[in-house]
Amino acid sequence: MDKLVWVELDRNAPDHNLKEILKGAKKGARFCAVVKSNAYGHGAREITSLLPSADWFAVNSLDEGLELRSFGIKKPVLLLGYVPLSRLDEAINNELRLTVYNYETLERIDSLSKKGLLKKPALIHLKIETGTGRQGILLDEIPDFVNAILNTENTIFEGVSTHYANIEDTINSEYARHQLQIFKKALALIRDNGGNPEVIHTACTAAAILFPQTHFSMLRVGIGIYGLWPSRETYLSALLSGSYLPDLKPVLTWKTKVVQIKTLPEGSYVGYGCTYKTTRKTKIAVLPVGYADGYDRALGNTAHVLVKGRRAPVIGRVCMNLTMIDVTDVPDLKLEDEVVLLGKSGNEQITAEQMANWAGTINYEIVTRISPFLERRIV
């Protein structure tokens, strides 16, 4: 069906990226593809269907996990976020792995089991707080917590994880190494207290690329499978340290169509707030995309789009559903011609990193905020 704004996904790119990252991994390491938040805005249904080599999937919420099950995904699914106590039975009965760091969660699992409400064992992944100041238990809580897990009915202590705080945005790996040391102490403590989890996972994309010692038994990778580097610093660190450099291919192109073309005289205002005034006779095109679609308002008077392989500047403010561009220098433009907001056109490319710089954010946010209501077209 004809759409005015849509996202195209390169059919081969996600699995290619996964395999590229795995090439640098320890032999036998499993690959958990992080597809939370609608697969970082790419489309969870489509991306999971394009990742045949993924061993596991990870999402944030219970509802996202149930959604993957509704797509017919039978592979292990790990919930990275918190599951409300009142819905633990739904997670467990759908074999969704739980990230656990509260006694209350264990107590509720025990009571559900005693009431005969669990049809499957609870598969628990203990999260260790190693310095991100987010989810997880501290080292000195480990003995009692492991004991509590082992005494929770109908429970399998399957995994242990942590997450690095300062691995993407720096070329200094000191803090990540410090967190890794704490995690290793945690593993020893878990084993000393009778735990024997087999799925050990800490490596996000930056860790997976830069530090093989973080791989353990499974990588837990997000941004890299979408063909994006976590940051310039990660790329630079990989270059400087001589790490293996995966050949990452961006998966997503974001497109729209021209819905009006007109020529305004010199001295005309464009958009809300009259923040742009033409300095010459200016041919403008109106695009049916705006901040409601995830096209950031900060892109007004700043970004470019690609029209027939040429850059055209965004002029005036980005509206909720409309954006105006200057196409004075684009020849032969017609109504409903395609415009690339993000991706390639001819020899030009607008990357998520460039758009993030324009909008004052990171590539993760640029792609994740593309509206889930837009069609994802596999090409």
Ligand X SMILES: Cc1ncc(COP(=O)(O)O)c(C=O)c1O
269 in catalytic set: no
Nearer to ligand X, 206 or 370 (CB): 206
User: Cα separation of 187 and 72, whole Å?
Assistant: 34
Examine residue 230 and tell whether it contacts ligand X (CB under 6 A): yes
Examine residue 251 and tell whether it contacts ligand X (CB under 6 A): no
Examine residue 14 and tell whether it contacts ligand X (CB under 6 A): no
User: Cα separation of 147 and 193, whole Å?
Assistant: 7
Binds ligand X by CB under 6 A, chosen from 221, 315, 350, 374: 221
Nearer to ligand X, 7 or 80 (CB): 80
User: Cα separation of 376 and 251, whole Å?
Assistant: 11
Nearer to ligand X, 146 or 207 (CB): 207
Residue 233, CA distances (Å) to 57, 212, 319 in order: 27, 18, 33
Options 223-231, 251-259, 267-275, 295-303: segment touching ligand X (CB under 6 A): 223-231
User: Cα separation of 97 and 101, whole Å?
Assistant: 13
Smallest gap from Cβ 295 to ligand X, in A, equals 22
Name the active-site residue from 235, 244, 272, 277. Answer: 272
Number of shown-chain residues binding ligand X (CB under 6 A): 12
Nearer to ligand X, 221 or 339 (CB): 221
Contacts of ligand X in 28-87 (CB under 6 A): 34, 80
Q: Tell me the two tokens of residue 295.
A: 């096209």
Examine residue 159 and tell whether it contacts ligand X (CB under 6 A): no
Q: Tell me the two tokens of residue 240.
A: 């400087």
Name the active-site residue from 36, 127, 255, 257. Answer: 36
3-state secondary structure of 298: helix
Examine residue 21 and tell whether it contacts ligand X (CB under 6 A): no
Residue 177's Cβ-count burial label (10 Å; 0-12, 13-18, 19+) is middle
3 in catalytic set: no
Binds ligand X by CB under 6 A, chosen from 76, 136, 222, 343: 222
Residue whose beta carbon is closest to ligand X? 222
Residue 142, CA distances (Å) to 130, 146, 149, 151 in order: 12, 6, 10, 14
Q: How many helices (H) and strands (E) does the chain have?
A: 12, 20
3-state secondary structure of 162: coil
Is-contact 33 53, C-beta < 8 A?
A: no
Binds ligand X by CB under 6 A, chosen from 16, 108, 163, 317: 163
Nearer to ligand X, 109 or 207 (CB): 207
Contacts of ligand X in 175-214 (CB under 6 A): 204-206
Q: Which residues contact ligand X (rule: CB under 6 A)?
A: 34, 80, 163, 204-206, 220-224, 230
Active site residues: 36, 272
